[in-house]
Amino acid sequence: MPIAFRYAARSDVGLVRSENQDSGYAGPHLLVVADGMGGHAGGDIASSTVIGHLVQLDDDAPGGGDSADELGSAIATANRELGRIIGERPELTGMGTTVTALLRSRNKLMVAHIGDSRAYLWRDGTLGRMTTDHSFVQTLIDQGRITPEQASTHPQRSLVTRVLTGAPRDLPDIGARAAIAGDRYLVCSDGLSGFVADETIGEILGKGTPDEAADTLVGLALRAGAPDNVTLIVADVVDMTRGDLPSVSPQIVGAARLSPAGTRALRETPAAKAAALSQALGLDEERESVEKLALAEEKPSTRRGRLVKLFAALAAVAVVIAGGSYAAYAWSQRQFFVGASDGRVTVFRGVADDLGPISLSSPVDVTDVALTDLPENTQAIVENRVTVADRAEADARVAELRAQAQACVKARARNQSCGSVGTAYGTNSTTSTTATSTSSTTGSSTTGSSSSTRPSSSHSTSSGTGTSR
């Protein structure tokens, strides 16, 4: 049974702070909340950087057994980037961020977690926590020294013991669980969980749509006097074969929506490439008809209201355009063609076109067939890219090219020229390749089947000193 997320993301600056250091991303396959720390600029950069690296996983074709490795690798890459930034800007020493991420892989969820942001599961009327806080008070709870109720008022409740800081030891906990239609997930920063009881959270998650639940939870945190940023995502697992299909427009909230550290990487997401593809294919009408993204707007303090709303509106427009074209990008990623990469015959996923600096394809199989081993006319055909119907046909073309290359290598070893009787791209799929000798008096001629290419229209646990926010 195919499943997908129906989601709503929200972020609020809170009642005390003047800046938002949280970042959140909700997309068709990925939910992430990152709670930055290290002061203004430091926390913003940390959380935005992580979001910018993880959004690349929000792909139309999530992997299988290696998804956990992909998630862990993306977080490790983001962590190294934090280390690089700190190395270049010593004034940011001490910055870091929590990360709690859910990546859908077929009918499973990969869960990555470090810090004290949380993921919850609401299933069959029961709320359960999917993550364990990496915090000082959680250590005390685990040791039986305090109760969870006492932890909520403990003077060191903000002391976290593990976050991403750019150090090699900063490794998240990663696990997997089954995703079932009807499940509801909540991913949130401690701006919510630190001020609204789990029992109350469960009551809210049991009611209404993701948008309604998300709005209510933010309101409860603010009424509880939350001084910290409040960022959360509510997402339902829905059966794609029943009812209306959920929107695929990504929602970006908090610091990542406005920070250059996050938006640079966001431009290369599948959604961003989809927007470029939509423009190339003239899908303006389709884009306009796509359900508009519910503005995942940070509720501003009265001092900054108009300015923040202006930036939010501009950011939302960009997100709507990208998300509205996601279906077109998803279609492109089910296309294949044969071309060349690093001097070898390569199978590509995508369409055989580029839009300026944006590539709409990526190599999926760089074969052992060297381009220079092929006849010259066939080399030109491959370099111009050969469109195929599907991956099976792409593999068949590679097999034919391999046979050509092997024949040419043998011919050249005998000081014979290499030509082709058939290029394997004509109407006869059984054409064979031969090497023909060159006569010094009469020359040689090669007859090949016609060929044309066309652009597609397309855990180890690490310990360290605690960090207080």
Residues 139 and 8 in one domain: yes
Residue 377 neighbours by CB distance under 10 Å: 13
Q: What is the CA radius of gyration of the chain?
A: 27
Task: Indicate whether 207 belongs to any domain.
Answer: yes
Residues 234 and 344 in one domain: no
Residues 372 and 243 in one domain: no
Task: Indicate whether 143 belongs to any domain.
Answer: yes
Task: Indicate whether 249 belongs to any domain.
Answer: yes
Residues 247 and 355 in one domain: no
State the pairing for strand pair 230-239/184-188.
antiparallel
Residue 57: CATH number of its domain: 3.60.40.10
pTM for the full predicted model? 0.60
- The DSSP result for 132-147, as a single string, is ---BHHHHHHHTTSS-
pLDDT of residue 356: 53
Residue range 175-199, pLDDT digits in tens: 999 999 999 999 999 999 999 999 9
Residues 339 and 250 in one domain: no
Task: Indicate whether 307 belongs to any domain.
Answer: no
Query: What is the residue-level pLDDT of the chain in tens, covering all 469 positions?
Result: 678 899 999 999 999 888 899 999 999 899 999 999 986 668 989 999 999 899 989 875 455 457 888 999 999 999 999 999 999 999 999 999 999 999 998 889 999 999 999 999 999 999 999 999 999 999 999 999 998 888 878 888 878 999 999 999 999 999 999 999 999 999 999 999 999 999 999 999 999 999 999 999 999 999 998 888 999 999 999 988 887 778 878 899 999 887 654 455 455 555 445 544 545 444 443 333 333 332 333 344 444 444 444 444 444 444 444 444 444 555 666 788 999 999 999 999 887 766 555 667 889 899 999 999 998 888 888 988 888 888 888 999 999 999 999 999 998 888 887 764 344 433 333 333 333 333 333 333 333 333 333 333 333 333 444 666 6
Which amino acid is located at 246 in the chain?
P
Strands (E), 289-444: 336-341, 344-355, 358-370, 386-388
Cα separation, 120 vs 102, in Å, equals 11
Domain containing residue 367: 335-455
β-pair partners for 154: none
Q: What is the dihedral of CA 259, 261, 265, 267, to 10 degrees?
A: 30
H helices of 325-434, in order, are 326-332, 376-383, 391-413
Q: How many domains does the chain have?
A: 2
Task: Indicate whether 460 belongs to any domain.
Answer: no
Residues 245 and 368 in one domain: no
Residues 64 and 198 in one domain: yes
pLDDT of residue 461: 35
Task: Indicate whether 263 belongs to any domain.
Answer: no
Task: Indicate whether 278 belongs to any domain.
Answer: no
Q: For 429, which DSSP code?
A: T
Distances (CA, A) of 112 to 70, 109, 174, 189, 269: 11, 10, 4, 14, 20
Residues 356 and 217 in one domain: no
Cα separation, 354 vs 352, in Å, equals 7
The last residue of one of the domains, among 225, 254, 283, is 254
Task: Indicate whether 355 belongs to any domain.
Answer: yes
pLDDT of residue 47: 94
The last residue of one of the domains, among 200, 227, 254, is 254
Residue range 106-145, pLDDT digits in tens: 889 999 999 999 999 999 999 999 999 999 999 999 999 9
Asked if 79 and 73 touch (Cβ cutoff 8 Å), the reply is no
Q: Within its chain, how far is the Cα of 268 from the centroid?
A: 10
The last residue of one of the domains, among 198, 229, 254, is 254
> Shortest CA distance to 117 belongs to which of 25, 6, 230?
230
Residues 190 and 44 in one domain: yes
Q: Which residue has the tokens 């926390």?
A: 43
Residues 211 and 93 in one domain: yes
